[in-house]
Structures are given as structure tokens and as C-alpha cells.
Amino acid sequence: MMPDDLLERASQEDLEALAQLDANGFICGRDEDAVAFTERLRRLRHNIANMEQALTEQGTFTIEDLTVSAQERIPQELFLEVASHCQELYSFQINWVPGFFINPKASLLFGGCAYYFYPDFFALFIIRKTFRDRDRWLIYRRQELLAHELCHVARIGLESMDYEETFAYQTATSSFRRFAGGLFRRQHDSLMFLGAAMLILAGQLIRTFWLPNLPVWLLWTAMAAVVARLVTQHRTACQRLGDAMASAQTVFGDQAQSVLFRCTDQEIRDLARLPHDSVQTWINRQCEQRLRWKIICHRFLQPANTPL
């Protein structure tokens, strides 16, 4: 997966080696240096080796509340289905995340998800068994599920919240999902929406069976307020991302989307505020301070524009 010589070169800040790792979905973390970055990848390699050993010896592997079977392994060909899509969007391809078919408990509407851990780096992917033989089930597409979760795995070291779902949902085939996918950025966003929906349901039941004069419109007002907050928050974030894209394009051209994919939330906010004639200076400063930006510039800038 990661040869020793490649990791050794990367640990010494060999930019060609680091760029190769980046292209394979190993994006340098927010404030990682070369030693910390390669140590994280060595832990990943060790953790995957432990999983492979358990699958070989016992036929199953358990992590937290999840048990997967060697017989239910997702074939590599299915990951190859999404390689070109991830490459086109964000200039990376991941073929190292183990995946399994599984129908977990309470899986009525389950499509798929990724388990990933940081900084003790490990990741695996599970999708509904239906996708073994079918590309689509209900609103889910196999290719979209895989690409979406692989985006999360690639960005794990950035510890992003504000734009994580926005980037991942750009893999969707539906323009509506590409736009609305980032509405729920944090867990409390989802909880607020579900809470308001449950209050409306409870209010309707109480009105039907016990209190016919209950003013349910108050509950609908609360739901409208929650939706308005989510939409406003998402619209502001999208405008900021668009401004950051415009700034990045002044230096990186058509590679700007791949660059923003490797940015932290704060860096996106900074880029969005910058005058266009200050972007190059800002990037030079980032390259002086952060290994991740050295890798970004090495991969996505023309040699003549790459900071020394």
C-alpha cells in the first residue's frame, strides 16, 4: 500500500513523494509536519495489517460495534468505478480503503457509510448488500456513496466541519443534492431539524386525540425558523466558498477546486476575504509555515509560480 522507501522519502520532506501520497488520497493534516504525517500513515498501514490478519485467521474483524466478514469484501473493481470521478473533481484516487457489504441493525434506509478514526488513523467502508449486484437502490447510487465517503476519508486530517459535506456532496449526480447536501453541517443541525419535526408530529397527535384547539401553527413556525436558519447558514457558506474559489483561481486556475478541497475551514474563510492581488503573498506565507501548502503548490502550481 505504502512502500517503506516512499514513506522514508516523505518523512524527509521529499515533495515528489509527498505529492504521490497526496494523489493517493493521503492529504497532509491541518498542522502536520513530515514526521507526524508519515507516522500517521505508518499507523494506518499497521491497523490495516491487523485487520487483514484477523480476516485471514478468524474470517471476521470487529471494530467498535461493527463486525465485517472476509466473504463480504467489496471487490476492488467497485472502487475503480469512482476513481475517475474523484480524480476529476479533486485530483485524488483512493484504492486502499477496505470495504464490505453489510446490512447493519436498524438498517431499513441504510445505504452506506465510512468508519474512520484520527489520529490513530484507520478507515473502512460499508455499503448495503443490495449494492453487490445493483448500482442503485431507492435514492442511493453505489458510485455516489463510494465517492462521497472517500472524500471524507481523504480530508480527515483537516478536521473540517463547515465545508465537509459540501465537498462530499459534489460527487452527487443530482444538482439538488449537490446544492442542498451541505445544509446539515454539524450534528446539532440535524438534531434541530429532527426535533422540530418530532414536535410537529407530537402536536398533531395531541390535537387529534386530546386537545383539538392546540395551536399547532406555533410548532410549524418553529420548524420554519429552523429551516430558515439552515438555509441562511448554507447560503452564506456557499457564497464564501465561491469567493474563495475566485481568489484561488487567480493563482491556481482550473486547479482551484482541488486546492480548496485541501484547505481548512479557516483557510477558506481567509481566501474568501483576500483581495485578489494579495492571494499570491498569502500562499507564499502558507508555504513557509505549513507542509500541506508546500505539497499543494508542488502539485497544482506551474513551476515558474511555485514558491521557493
Is residue 174 in a domain? Answer: no
User: How high is the pLDDT of residue 290?
Assistant: 96
**Residues 103, 28: one domain?**
yes
Is residue 48 in a domain? Answer: yes
User: How high is the pLDDT of residue 152?
Assistant: 92
**Residues 251, 204: one domain?**
yes
What is the helix (H) or strand (E) element at residue 77, kind and residue range?
helix 76-90
Higher pLDDT: 53 or 106? It is 53
Residue 5 scores a pLDDT above 80: yes
Question: Which set of grid coordinates corresponds to residue 39?
Answer: 507516522
Beta 122-127 vs 99-101: how paired, if at all? Answer: parallel
Cα of 149 vs its chain's centroid, Å? 6
Question: Which set of grid coordinates corresponds to residue 215?
Answer: 395551536
Highest mean pLDDT among 33-42, 127-136, 295-304: 33-42
Is residue 172 in a domain? Answer: no
Q: Mean per-residue pLDDT for 229-250?
A: 92
Look up the pTM and report it: 0.88
Q: Mean per-residue pLDDT for 211-234?
A: 85
Higher pLDDT: 207 or 85? It is 85
Q: Which residue, of 128, 159, 190, is where some domain finishes?
A: 159
Q: Are 99 and 72 in contact (CB under 8 A)?
A: no
**Residues 127, 202: one domain?**
no
Sheet containing strand 122-127, edge to edge, reads 99-101, 122-127, 112-117
Is residue 244 in a domain? Answer: yes
Residue 91 scores a pLDDT above 90: yes
**Residues 142, 59: one domain?**
yes
Instruction: Indicate if the alpha-carbon torsion angle 249, 255, 258, 262 is positive or negative.
Output: negative
Lowest-confidence pick of 28-32, 69-73, 82-86, 127-131: 127-131
Share of the chain above pLDDT 90, in %: 47
Cα of 82 vs its chain's centroid, Å? 14
Q: Mean per-residue pLDDT for 264-270?
A: 96
Is residue 167 in a domain? Answer: no
Lowest-confidence pick of 60-64, 139-143, 230-234, 279-283: 139-143
Is residue 39 in a domain? Answer: yes
Is residue 177 in a domain? Answer: no
**Residues 124, 239: one domain?**
no
Q: Are 140 and 127 in contact (CB under 8 A)?
A: no
Helices marked H in 181-255 — which ranges? 187-209, 217-252
Domain boundaries, position 28:
1-159
Task: Dump pLDDT digits (tens) for 213-222.
Answer: 888 888 888 8
Task: Dump pLDDT digits (tens) for 269-300.
Answer: 999 999 999 999 999 999 999 999 999 999 99
User: How high is the pLDDT of residue 88?
Assistant: 95
Is residue 165 in a domain? Answer: no
Q: How many domains does the chain have?
A: 2
Cβ atoms < 10 Å from Cβ of 87: 13
Cα(268)–Cα(281) distance, rounded to whole angstroms? 15
